[in-house]
Structure 1
C-alpha cells in the first residue's frame, strides 16, 4: 500500500533484520521515521522486525537484496520511494566479518569480505547520494577495530578503513545539499556476529578492555545512529567511535 501522501521522514536500514541493524531500525521507527528493513538472506527475521515496529505503532516494510548488486539496491531505494514517498536517512549497517590471521586467510574469503563491505558500501552510498532528500543523513558503519588493531581482524579492518575513506570524501562531495554523511564505528557489541566462534574467556577479556568493562549493546549503537539521523546536523564528515572508551 502506498503512503506517499504522508510527510513523515523515511529511512532505509540495510542489514536491518538482526543485530545492530535491527536495533537501529526499531530506534528510528520510535523517532517517527517510516523504515524499510533491508535483509540479505533471512526474510523471516526481517518480517519479525517489521512486526515489532508496527506493533509498537510504527511504520515499516521489508525488502531483500545483495548490497553489492546495484540493480537490487536500486530496487530497494525504489521500494522506499514507492511505499513511503522518498528517502531521508540511509543507515548502512550490513556487513560480514569472517576472521583469520592474514597469513592464513584464503583469498576467496578476503574477496568476499571486500565485496560485501567495500563494494556494498559504495553501491549504497552512491544511491543514497543520488536520492536522499535535503535535510537527510547518510550513516555508514565502520568499526573500532581500525584503532584497536586486534589480531585476526586484518581483512575486516581493511574493508572498514575503505568505508571510512568513502564516507569522509562523500561528505565533502555533497557540499550544498544539506545532507550529512558520517560513519559509526562500534566497539565490541553483543550481537550474534560478535559471539560467533568466541569462547566465554575471550568474550570476557574483550569486554574488560574498555573503561565501562562491558560489551556494547545494539541499543547503545542505535542511539548514536538516531542522533546522526535527527538532531546532529552539525556533525558531518566524521567517524564516531562508539565503544565505551576502548579506543
Structure 2
C-alpha cells in the first residue's frame, strides 16, 4: 500500500494560531477550506475572512462572535455527540473576533466566493435538521432493508425486537474515479473497500485484477497481512 502521509495532518503541524488550517491551495482544492480553533478560558482569536465566507461551529463549549458591529452568543455543546449546536455565518470581507469565557474548540469551515454583500447571521440549533437513519419510518413497524436480490438474501434477518435490520443480498455500488484523481491512491482505497466490505456489502466494488494480486490476505495477527481473511462461518445476525 502507498504512503498516505500527505493526506494526514497531525494536530498543530499545519498552522500558526489554529490547531489546523487547510486552505484550497494547501489541499489542492478549488474552493473549500477548514480551520480548527481551540481557545483557553478568556482567549480570543481575530479572523479576517478575506475572499471566503465562514461558519463558526462549536465542537465543544460555547463562544461569543463579534463581527461587523454585531455580536452573537453561541451556546455550543458539551461535545459533538451530545447535541446539535447553534452557529454563526461570517460573510466575505468581514472582520471577526471569536472569544471564549471558559474553553472551547470550534470548526471554521470556509468556502471561497466572489459574491459579497451578505450579512452576518446567527443560526439557531432548532433550525438544524436532524435525521434518524436506519430506524424505519414508524415506531414498531416491520422494517426490512434489502440490498441486492441474490438468493442469499433472507427476510428472516429483517425485523427483530422493534429494530430495522439489513438483509444483505450481494449488491454492488458504482465507483467513479475522476480524471484528475491520484490513480494509485484511488486504486489502493478501492481495493481496500472491496476486501474490507466483501461480506455482501454494497461498497464491495470491482477492482483491477493487478491490485488484488498485491493484497496479502491472512490471519489478522500476521504483520504482513493487509486484509484479514473472512471467518469460516458467517457471524450470526445482531439484535
State the TM-score, normalized to the length of structure 2: 0.23
More helix by share: 1
More strand by share: 2
State the TM-score, normalized to the length of structure 1: 0.23
Q: Which has the higher contact order (CA 8 A, sep 6+)?
A: 1
